[in-house]
Amino acid sequence: MQANAPIGIFDSGIGGLTVTRAIRRLLPQEDIIYFGDTAHMPYGDKSTEAIQAYSIKIVNFLLSQECKAIVIACNSASSAAYKLLREYVGNRALVINVIDPMVEYVATHYAGKKVGLIGTKQTVRSNVYKKKIDDLRKGIQLQAMATPLLAPMIEEGYAGHPIMAQVIGDYLQKAAFEDIEALILGCTHYPLIKEMISNYFENKVAILDSSEIVAKTVKQKLASFGLEKTGALSGEAQFFVSDYTPAFEEMTDIFFGEHAKLKLYPLWE
């Protein structure tokens, strides 16, 4: 691992660009290589075995680009493949998921409190957040709910639409979310509707956005291993996808906050 090597980031599609944007803002000097597995999106309804197979292929690509760190910017892949990827990568690169930083944050700030979680079917079904939080024995009561309609609606451009507000309300009105003090956004798409979710709770519930928390973890990890890039005012960013359509490229403007030219790299040929 070299300090001037890039940071690799991958997701099931383009939702992980919210994490990429947060890392870019916090570490503007770093070079970034992003991979979105748009050919197989979404991962939320895929089997664990399928997600692991896709993730290994993507990690092989990022390792071929000599990435010093690999960020799994996807809750579904983090829950299904993190342990496997960490063993597979070994000491060739740092491997960071989006779940552990959030669990640590919740344990620090919400001990003894009731906290909600929304995410894909895969993330909620894995029970990974509850297991990790319970293991810390902080008295946190976690209420998790799968919200599978939200990510596809965001990708179809419905973020901010009244229909989105109605769907959010239908999900969050469940009794399980009564009296929660914070809500974990367990999908990297959800920061784009963070304000709408906060409005539903009349701004009385803390909405926990993993993208900013993960970016801080990446910075801390790089610093602890002496891998922070220095000397450059602005790093370069490259964006790869396993399937290309103009619609995917247009969506990068929404998720990344600026236009990103996508390069096609099929996982299987």
State phi, psi for 232 to the nearest 5 degrees.
-110, 135
Binding positions for substrate are 11-12, 43-44, 75-76, 188-189
Q: Is 74 a catalytic residue?
A: yes
* Sequence ranges of the binding site: 11-12, 43-44, 75-76, 188-189
Under 8 Å CB-to-CB from 227, ≥6 apart: which residues?
Answer: 1, 2, 3, 5, 68, 69, 94, 221
Catalytic residue among 74, 164, 205, 237: 74
For residues 64-99, b (16+ Cβ closer than 10 Å) or e, as one string?
eeebbbbbbbbbbbbbbbbeebeebbeeebbbbbbb
CA 246 to chain centre: 23
Q: Measure Cα distances from 238 to 17, 96, 153, 171, 233 in Å.
A: 12, 19, 26, 36, 17
Q: How far apart are CA 10 and CA 115, in angstroms?
A: 27
Q: Which of 58, 93, 95, 187 is catalytic?
A: 187
Residues belonging to the active site:
74, 187
